[in-house]
Structure 1
Amino acid sequence: MKTTIGISPENREVVAHQLAILLADEFVLYTKTLNAHWNLEGIDFHSVHRYFEELYTQSADMVDDVAERIRQLGHYAPATLKNFLQLTHLTEQDEDGNDSRSLIRKLLADHESLIEFIRGTINEFQEAHHDAGTSDFVTGLMEKHEKIAWMLRSHLR
């Protein structure tokens, strides 16, 4: 069925590809957050373990939202680990510490990386590709990552 939403097929394709990269980043970050939750050690285990659970729950919602936005544009979301690893900007984390500070630093760096990537797409989606909806969508997503980054940063003070 043809997608007719007032955005040219060419523009929808470019935006969907950028969102596919974002989806891969979100999925990799989700996995890294699960790793932090599962493998955390230390005196603050209980409270940080619960906090990481909140983070991976939020992350799962963001993954789903990005995939659904791609579908709204009439494209299929990448949905294999192979695709995600080919598309993502993020890297595997080193096994250099399972204490809360080490894990929080790693997650913070990834959230900040996503914030920078998303910020770079906002105007492009709106101005170059005439997609105000996706521009607004990623702005909201960026704000969620900014709040999480602030919270993670606050743990490190």
Structure 2
Amino acid sequence: MKKVDLYLANLAVVNIKLHNLHWNVTGINFKAIHEYLEGLYDSAFEKFDEVAEYQKMNGVYPKARLAEYLEISDIDELESKDYNGKETIEITIETLEHMRDNALDIIEDTDCFVLSNMMEDHVTEYNKHIWFLKTMLK
């Protein structure tokens, strides 16, 4: 379950990271990126809740302290400052690719159909957003 703990912690940090970018994106594409990021952090929070509830249903107390998340997470936090649109998109792509890879690691490591199916759904969503964001950079 260490990989699930890591994934949960990463989702918590990603939620804050996406909020940071949402609040601090600047430039000509501000409105579009600002609104897009809102959807991403809403989705990250839904995943966060889903994973924690999965743990509870399986007799595990999910980590529930910010200190624990920061101790476990391998996602880098961001400084509170302005980020231009291109930077914001690149950071978001890198973050989503990392989360996708975390989910793939869980799939490879589990024989639980429910967990595997949940992670496959997450991977599918990450891949769609990664494609969308990479297309925005072209």
Same fold (TM over 0.5): yes
Where structure 2 has 5 or more consecutive residues not aligned to the other structure, the ranges are none
Where structure 1 has 5 or more consecutive residues not aligned to the other structure, the ranges are 1-14
* Residue in 2 that maps onto 1:52: 37
Count of matched residue positions in the alignment of Structure 1 and Structure 2:
138
Alignment partner for residue 152 of structure 1, among 106, 111, 133?
A: 133
Q: Is the 8 A contact 1:104 1:152 kept in 2?
A: yes
Aligned: 1:98 with 2:83: yes
* Residue in 2 that maps onto 1:23: 8
**Which runs of structure 2 are paired with 1:95-134 in the superposition (5 Å)?**
98-126=83-111, 131-134=112-115
How far is 1:97 from its partner?
A: 5.0
Q: Is the 8 A contact 2:100 2:126 kept in 1?
A: yes
Q: Structure 1 segments of 4 or more deviating over 2 A? A: 93-97
SS in 2 for 1:20: helix
* Residue in 2 that maps onto 1:140: 121
Distance 1:111 1:90 in 2: 10
Aligned letter for 1:51?
Y
Distance 1:94 1:49 in 2: 17
Alignment partner for residue 85 of structure 1, among 53, 58, 70?
A: 70
Q: Is the 8 A contact 1:39 1:98 kept in 2?
A: yes
RMSD (CA atoms): 1.6
Distance 2:41 2:98 in 1: 17
Q: Is the 8 A contact 1:30 1:56 kept in 2?
A: yes
Distance 2:71 2:126 in 1: 22
When structure 1 is superposed on structure 2, of 87-96 and 23-32 the one drifting more is: 87-96
How far is 1:78 from its partner?
A: 0.6
Structure (1 or 2) with the larger CA radius of gyration = 1
How far is 1:117 from its partner?
A: 1.9
Please report the TM-score for the alignment, with normalisation by the length of structure 1: 0.81
Please report the TM-score for the alignment, with normalisation by the length of structure 2: 0.91
